Structure 1
Amino acid sequence: MITPGTFPISSGAAEILPDPWTDGVFLLKVNGVESSQLNPDRPETLGFEYMRWSAAVLRHRFAPDVDRLRVLHLGGAGCTFARWVTHVWPQAHQLAVELDAGLAALARERFALPRAPQLKIRVGEAGEVLAGLRPETREVIVRDVFAPEDLPFPTPERSGDLPFPERERRGEGVHVTPAHLTGLTAAAHAARVLVPGGVYLLNIGGGPDLTSVRREVAALTATFPHVEVMADPAMLKGRRRGNVIAAASTLPLAAEALGGRAGLARDLLADALPARLVDDVGRFVAGAAPAP
């Protein structure tokens, strides 16, 4: 049973509060910033649109009866997406990496998460864990890591000592993916850890000019032969700040037996917040220089 309240975590405070729009559903805020939607009775329901877009990618890549699905989540928070994976693929083995030890403990104790081996939670820094994994040991890697852009590079040992700026308390801080997870080196680590045909799935935050998004996608296209990019049309036209989902693999992202790229495009357009697949990813990243 999820109980609303405010709870101390290593980097500050986590707040669980009822979702004002949906009965029986809760929101998790981490240091004043909305992080996860928690639906204890319906793990198949994803309230955040970018998670639904990510789910569409995996549904069009892996059949429900796939023999093996080992998933690495870089960024844990409420483990909402991991609960969804377990609902769709009960045989999946997952590892969620969360920097904040207190948040990891809160999620394990209060969010009715699947137990090991279905879901393990490791306290650690996502980039370090990714770099240390053995080759070809995961079918899926999900990167959903954000931190206030004005904070220093975090480590688990000092996460409890990170500054907590006043603008973060007001929910005004811009959150970005740490730079060491966005460039060619991180993409190469992901390619090494994935099995052939595995999927690297990234939640990318971007501003209206899409410069940071294009640089991240350029790192993917330099590393993987197949890359897809999706977001709502307003975001892709540079009208607002928001989330872009990118997916990369050594094989086409959408299996023909599961509807192919056309089926994925239809599912994305049918979402409550429709998303569009970028038609020409090469043109999208033209002139963008990936980070090292």
Structure 2
Amino acid sequence: MQATVDLDDPTYLDAEYMQRIAYLVDAAAEPRRPLRVLHLGAGGLALARYTAATRPGSYQQAVETNEALIELVRAEAPLPRGVKVKIRRTDARAAVESAPEGSYEFVITDVYDGARVPAHLTGVEFLRAADRVLRPGGHYAANLCDGGQMTFLKPALAAMREVWPHVAVMAEPAVLRGRRFGNVVAAASAAELPIAALRRRCAGAAFPCRVVEGAELSEYIGGAAPATDATAIQSPPPPRSLRSF
């Protein structure tokens, strides 16, 4: 299921997890400064359109493996003239590993195989590759999901902590506690994250959520070992009640 794309208002994001990633993009630099962004998982290009509208002149590359989806977007929801978004059909990890060092200020991972996050995009090896292509002070963001015992999420977050000194998550408390299956947006950087700005935006959202970082995040992860290529698992499938397929 793809988020709604409003061709008349590209700043409209209906998916809550996309709104949370947008909070990070908004706080990453002074308003309207162009950014270089790599989107892993193109979808309907909702976040790319948002970035282009709020930061004109940004250079963005979007990676997608679903050729039918790419053609649908090009035919039914083409990008406005002058918007710099290059779409590539390739695997997300291959795109990261082949990208030049220090070439992006943002890497955003929103990749799902069906309704599950692929394991090979959560381990330390992949995250180190993502860090390599970030410019100094750049940001990594990922849309993850889990529920129950959080056996997927906690190792994925531990892997992020292994690569970056600053990591935070934005999610509803019931999701973080495993009482409800849902999305968790994780953000990371070698530089300080804009935690105060994220807290304000998350608290004032239509569906408020928490920002967890620092010692509180360390306590949440507990003894979970960082995910690696040898140990990473894909995220669990959503409950049947949440599926649209």
TM-score if structure 2 supplies the norm length?
0.88
**C-alpha distance in structure 1 between counterparts of 2:179 and 2:148, whole Å:** 6
**C-alpha distance in structure 1 between counterparts of 2:27 and 2:72, whole Å:** 32
Structural RMSD (CA)? 1.4
2:127 counterpart SS class: helix
Q: CA 1:116–1:146 in 2, change beyond 3 Å: closer, same or farther? A: farther
**C-alpha distance in structure 2 between counterparts of 1:223 and 1:125, whole Å:** 22
Paired positions, count: 226
Query: Deviation per CA, 1:213-265, whole angstroms, max 9, x where unpaired?
Result: 111111110000111111012111211111000000010121xxxxxx22320
**C-alpha distance in structure 2 between counterparts of 1:100 and 1:238, whole Å:** 31
1:38 counterpart SS class: coil
**C-alpha distance in structure 2 between counterparts of 1:125 and 1:40, whole Å:** 27
1:79 aligns with 2:45: yes
The residue number in structure 2 matching 1:168 is: none
Query: Deviation per CA, 1:79-136, whole angstroms, max 9, x where unpaired?
Result: 1111001111011000000101121111122113245761110011111111111110
For residue 270 of structure 1, the aligned residue among 204, 224, 228 is 204
The residue number in structure 1 matching 2:157 is: 217
* Structure (1/2) with the larger strand percentage: 1
The residue number in structure 1 matching 2:140 is: 200
Q: How does 1:225-244 map to 2 (within 5 A)?
A: 225-244=165-184
**C-alpha distance in structure 2 between counterparts of 1:115 and 1:138, whole Å:** 23
For residue 92 of structure 1, the aligned residue among 20, 39, 58 is 58
Aligned partner of 1:129: which letter?
A
1:267 counterpart SS class: helix
Q: Is the 8 A contact 1:187 1:220 kept in 2?
A: yes
Q: How does 1:136-175 map to 2 (within 5 A)?
A: 136-148=102-114, 175=115
* 4+ residue segments displaced more than 3 Å: 114-117
Which structure has the larger Rg over C-alpha atoms? Answer: 1
1:210 counterpart SS class: coil
1:282 aligns with 2:218: yes
**C-alpha distance in structure 1 between counterparts of 2:80 and 2:41, whole Å:** 17
1:119 aligns with 2:85: yes
The residue number in structure 2 matching 1:51 is: 18
Q: How big is the shift at 1:178?
A: 1.0
Aligned partner of 1:203: which letter?
N
**C-alpha distance in structure 2 between counterparts of 1:274 and 1:89, whole Å:** 25
**C-alpha distance in structure 2 between counterparts of 1:204 and 1:221, whole Å:** 15
The residue number in structure 2 matching 1:102 is: 68
Give % identity.
38
2:152 counterpart SS class: helix
Q: Is the 8 A contact 1:53 1:275 kept in 2?
A: no
